[in-house]
Structure 1
Amino acid sequence: MARPARFTTDQFLDAAVRKAAAAGPTAVTMSAVAAEVGAPSGSAYHRFAGRTELLAQTWLRTVETFQASYLAACETVGDDPAQAARGAARQVVAWSRAHPEQVAVLLHGADAFDRAHWPEPHRRRAEAGNQRVHAALAALAAALDLRGPEAADRVTLALVDLPLALVRRHLRGGTPLPAHAEDLAEQGAAALLCGRFPSPASPAGAERAQDATSHRPVR
């Protein structure tokens, strides 16, 4: 009967995330990750074909964890598309607040994790995740009646680029995300997508947000 593995794949990937968050993707080597886990170097090679495989798996597990929570926020569009948009923008910040090491990985970008040399199955897996996000954003734009050539850029700016810029500024500056960060992300999304500046955290904002869907969307 085979002995159970002493170290799991997730333990190695958790260690890779810690190394990348602390010192960047260049710090993620087979030996460094094994040492972080407290395992012999050879143990890493039982789970990953090499460093490129380790980097790919580190990125993919991290981005897919983020995408799962982000898509859950986007896909409430059938209930209230304006609320779904505001919730998606907030979720970028909220997830980043809850997972500081993982968001540090994502802010480096996939190229820093050697994407150019990933095996084809990993490249397809990454593209499938990106396509799910693109489809969700397109559905949200349609539900908000955003049309024309600028619609995709407007939605991406509102629900991805601006929230991540807010997170990046504080993370790179070594300062914690302020308590109002989610509200700012929401207000930016509302301004770009709904023509509103709701801030549910304040009484005045709550009044403005009571009927977000009644305002004519920005086209």
Structure 2
Amino acid sequence: MKFSADDILDAAARVVLTRSGSPPVAEIAREVGAPVGSVYYRFASRDELLVSLWLRSVRDFQQGFMAACRLEPAADAVVAAARHIPVYCREHPAEARAMTLYRQAELVRAAPESLRDEVATVNDQVNALSLELTRRRYGVADEWRTTLLTTATRQCPYGLVRPHLGGPIPDWIDDATAACARAIAALGD
């Protein structure tokens, strides 16, 4: 039986969801039902496998976040982008947990050489859309308002969700995230 890279990444995500920290390749191989050699056939190292999982999870999350950032009017886009975080994490718990494996700033230096460029640029499109949302919301994208929008749409929602990753994310967090996003964004008016 052949195992695709996605089969192995799916298994890695399931394993990451059930444990803290980075899982050993043998555990991932057991989860997918493949010999360890099949895992190493697709991924040169455990680091390459786990960084690939992180990248896939980040890109998947970003699709909905970017769609929310494009909504009109801009004030609704701010709230939708913030709400996307708890909704996505509730609907995709394994990917949400996988995104906590690394911090991009650290991973840029530590990722396998073959993935460093992708790691370095993975947030470029999201950052550009966030800057554009700041301009749409306020008419200007100065440092203060850019910081407000980043806090409203990313930092605050993530802070509310993070303690619940790996378990159920209470529904009330969606409304709390929306309320926080509105209040924080209003500071720039």
**TM-score of the superposition, structure 1-length normalised?**
0.78
Say which of 127, 134, 138 aligns to 1:134: 127
CA 1:170–1:116: 2 relative to 1, 3 Å:
same
CA 1:119–1:158: 2 relative to 1, 3 Å:
same
What displacement does 1:135 show? 0.7
Partners of 1:122 and 1:80 lie apart in 2 by 37
The alignment-based identity, stated in percent, is: 33
Q: Which residue does 1:183 correspond to in 2?
A: 175
Structure 2: state its 5+ residue gaps. none
Say which of 33, 46, 53 aligns to 2:48: 53
Output one character per residue of 1:75-95: Cα deviation in whole Å (capped at 9) or x when no partner.
22xx31011111101111110
Q: Which residue does 1:67 correspond to in 2?
A: 62
Say which of 128, 148, 159 aligns to 1:154: 148
Partners of 1:186 and 1:14 lie apart in 2 by 31
Partners of 2:110 and 2:4 lie apart in 1 by 25
Output one character per residue of 1:38-89: Cα deviation in whole Å (capped at 9) or x when no partner.
111111111011112111111111111001111111122xx31011111101
Structure 1: state its 5+ residue gaps. 196-217
> Which of 1 and 2 has greater Rg?
1
Output one character per residue of 1:108-160: Cα deviation in whole Å (capped at 9) or x when no partner.
4336x965332344222123221111111111111111543222221111100
1 or 2, which has the higher helix percentage?
2
Partners of 1:8 and 1:147 lie apart in 2 by 43
Instruction: List, as ranges, runs of 4+ consecutive aligned residues in structure 1 with deviation greater than 4 Å.
Output: none
Q: Report 1:1-219 matches (<5 A).
A: 6-27=2-23, 29-76=24-71, 79-110=72-103, 116-145=109-138, 147-171=141-165, 176-194=168-186, 218-219=188-189
* Preserved contact between residue 64 and residue 129 of structure 1 (Cα < 8 Å): yes
* Preserved contact between residue 53 and residue 118 of structure 1 (Cα < 8 Å): yes
Q: Which amino acid aligns with 2:6?
A: D
Q: Which residue does 1:205 correspond to in 2?
A: none
Q: Which amino acid aligns with 1:155?
A: L
Output one character per residue of 1:153-204: Cα deviation in whole Å (capped at 9) or x when no partner.
2111110011111111223xx7522222211111111111136xxxxxxxxx
* Preserved contact between residue 90 and residue 182 of structure 1 (Cα < 8 Å): yes
Q: Which amino acid aligns with 1:188?
A: C
Relative contact order higher in (CA < 8 Å, ≥ 6 apart)? 2
Partners of 1:23 and 1:68 lie apart in 2 by 26
Partners of 1:8 and 1:108 lie apart in 2 by 22
